[in-house]
Structure 1
Amino acid sequence: MSPHSRLTELRLLLGIERNTTRHGEKWISGIGALLGILVVYGLTRWTFPTEAASAVGGALMVTSMGASAVLLFAVPQGALSQPWAVVGGHLLSAFIGVSCQKLFPGHAWTAAIAVGLAVLGMYYLRCIHPPGGATALAAVIGGPDVHALGYGYLLMPVLINVAAILSMAIAFNALFPWRRYPAHLHRRRQTSRITQPAQRQFELTQEDFSAAMEQLNSYVDITTENLTELLELAKQHAERNITHPDAILRGRFYSNGKLGRLWSVRHVLEGDGPALAYRVVAGEHTGSAGSATPDELRQWARFEVVLQDNGRWVIAD
């Protein structure tokens, strides 16, 4: 196995995906998170002045708000970022954390039970929000000041914090039309992008997606609406690019246009002779090499591609 193949295998094992987000979007996310945390602190301080905050040990902010800020401003379209997930996830987890601390105070395993029950509860109430686990944990390990709040912890600081960061997320993301938050608000706008599909041999249905998700048996951080929209746009794109390249040129990159493990990009190498040597540069078996006749490669290839600066392969102009 070549060094390039080892690096690719290591990247896949670690789950390091290629980043296709533009620099502007990254800055928007960072600025949004900054403003979100400022608003959380400011609104909490305004709602509970210094004197009141001192009376409850100065617990103005739950550290899990930092994790919520990542989801709300970096992944606003994700299922884990939607309002019910944020509100329900934090409040339910806070309730479970306080209850566990009251029932089993001082035990080393209390925190573990609180987090485990919080995950279970969020699953059943359909409000999975990863930072909720930290909210439950803080209720147990937050120390005497947090323990003294009792169920008041749900109001101050959790509910106040959640209301502040959620309000900021709605207001801030609304400034940018492509940021769908909450996702439902922009569904009609996004629907206009989907044109009438051409006649196809078969159509995937909502029931197909439901059956596939049940078979996958794992939580996926994308809404059904976003998933079906993404697939429909991809199918329309495919219908406009159904021919094979007219010729295979040395030095160019070609994709077979398939999905998942079947996807592959080959770099046709420079050289002489009737056979064309190539190296796999993306997809499974990255780093492996081979050779084929020009006609064999043309039938294998769906289109010529180029690698953008963001690491995404796109169809060459």
Structure 2
Amino acid sequence: MSPPSRLTELRLLLGIERNTTRHGEKWISGIGALLGIVSVYWLTRWTFPEHAAGAVGGALMVTSMGASAVLLFAVPQGALSQPWAVIGGHLLSAFIGVSCQKLFADHAWTAALAVGLAVLGMYYLRCIHPPGGATALAAVIGGSQVHELGYGYLLMPVLINVIAILSMAIVFNALFPWRRYPAHLHKRRQPIPATRPAARQFELTQEDFSAAMEQLNSYVDITTENLTELLELAKQHAEKNITHPQDIIAGRAYSNGKLGKLWSVRRVLTQEERPADAAPDRLHYHVIAGDQAAQSGACSVEAFRAWARFEVVSQGSGRWMKAE
């Protein structure tokens, strides 16, 4: 096989994933974030008018609300976006930041200590929320205006900001059935059809899933409810076609049906695309997605058929679906 292109290697190295989100969803997320920040500003201004005098916004909101807006309106179903993560993450981090500033004021390492302890605390209280790190940092480097607030920083602006953006997230996402927030309220418009366990070669259980997550030993931004639902849908989709394709047709794409890093899509080259010195009994292909992307290779038709699980068609934006 030929080596992968430099562009492909760079994309993989940088971790640039193929975006499968539709344009409408992107616009909904952007508008939601806009309204979320507007609600933060106006609710805080209305609740504490004395702080609004002469302030454009810096004294009314913490900048970490911008990061929270990304999570609440772009990934409302994510584990890091759920209410306890937002409330606990911001308030705990604010408390730790203020405490570090009071105990170790004017030290170069105080800000780093605040962020480190905030991450540690959020882990143990099960409220990991990345913007919380910025809330802890702001309590230390926010200047005299923030330092004078002391532990009042937890109430104004942090708590009021959190209430405002959470309220907008609940109301705004409720307008779209597939974005219900919190994630527990999310109900599919189409119920998942039941599949008889006996029809499956194997059945993954919740215990299997928990064991796998423990072995992975890394925080994954998805709730257990959504993850098990996604797994069930994927298994049912896989059961639609479990045989290898009978005919391998030039110009079409095929998937090996694997998961994760082992997944791959190959396109069979047409006669015109084959190398000039290609052997007539060899099938030539190009890897167009997944493992060994951008590489080319050749094998027998029988070997390719054994590798291929089913034919696939592109849906754009890196999405591949089984061919009908």
Please say whether Structure 1 and Structure 2 have the same fold, judged by a TM-score greater than 0.5. yes
Question: 8 Å contact 1:88–1:122 — kept in the other structure?
Answer: yes
User: Partner of 2:75 in structure 1?
Assistant: 75
The Cα of 1:292 is off from its aligned counterpart by: 2.2
Aligned equivalent of 1:44: 44
Identical counterparts, % of pairs: 79
Q: What is the CA-CA distance between 1:261 and the residue it aligns to? A: 2.2
Instruction: Report the equivalent of 1:221.
Output: 221
1:190-205 mapped onto 2 (5 Å cutoff): 192-199=191-198, 200-205=200-205
Shift of 1:7: 1.6
Residues 274, 296 of structure 1: alpha-carbon distance in 2 compared, 3 angstrom cutoff: same
- The question of 1:259 aligning with 2:259 is answered yes
Residue 179 of structure 2 aligns to a residue in which SS?
coil
The correspondence of residues 1-12 of structure 1 with structure 2, limited to 5 A, is 5-12=5-12
Worse-superposed segment, 260-269 or 23-32: 260-269
Whole-Å separation in 2 of the counterparts to 1:131 and 1:269: 48
Q: Indicate the residue corresponding to 1:181 in structure 2.
A: 181
Aligned partner of 2:281 in structure 1 is 274
The CA distance in 2 between the partners of 1:67 and 1:224, in whole Å, is 23
Residue type at the aligned position of 1:192: P
3-state SS of paired residue (1:308)? strand
Cross-structure match for 1:244: 244
Match of 2:62 in 1: 62
Q: CA deviation at 1:11?
A: 1.1
CA contact (8 A) 1:305 1:316 kept: yes
Distance 1:225 1:251 in 2: 40
Distance in 2 (alpha carbons) for counterparts of 1:71 and 1:260: 24
CA shift, 1:4, in A, is: 5.3
**What letter is aligned with 1:222?**
I
1:156 maps to 2:163 = no
Q: What per-residue deviation string (whole Å, max 9, x for no partner) do you get for residues 255-278 of structure 1?
A: 111112221111111117332211
Q: What CA distance in whole angstroms lies between the structure 2 residues aligned with 1:96 and 1:123?
A: 14
Output the amino acid matched with 1:10.
Answer: L
Deviation of 1:156 (Å): 0.3
Instruction: Provide the alpha-carbon RMSD of the alignment.
Output: 1.9
Deviation of 1:193 after TM superposition, in Å, equals 1.9
- Deviation sequence 1:181-234 (CA, Å, 0-9, x none): 1011125x4792242344223211111111111111111101111111111111
1:309 and 2:316 equivalent?
A: yes
Give the deviation of 1:47 after TM superposition: 0.8
Conserved? CA contact 1:194–1:233, under 8 Å: no
Q: Give the counterpart letter for 1:307 in structure 2.
A: S
- Map of 1:53 onto structure 2: 52
* Cα distance in structure 2, aligned partners of 1:167 and 1:83: 10
| 1:290 pairs with 2:290 | no
Alpha-carbon distance in 2 for matches of 1:286, 1:100: 49
SS of 2:248's equivalent?
Answer: coil
Residue in structure 1 matched with residue 277 of structure 2 by the alignment: none
Measure the CA separation in 2 of the matches of 1:251 and 1:192: 37
SS where residue 289 of structure 2 aligns?
strand
Partners of 1:158 and 1:101 in 2: how far apart? Answer: 16
Gaps of 5+ in 1: none
Distance 2:230 2:58 in 1: 46
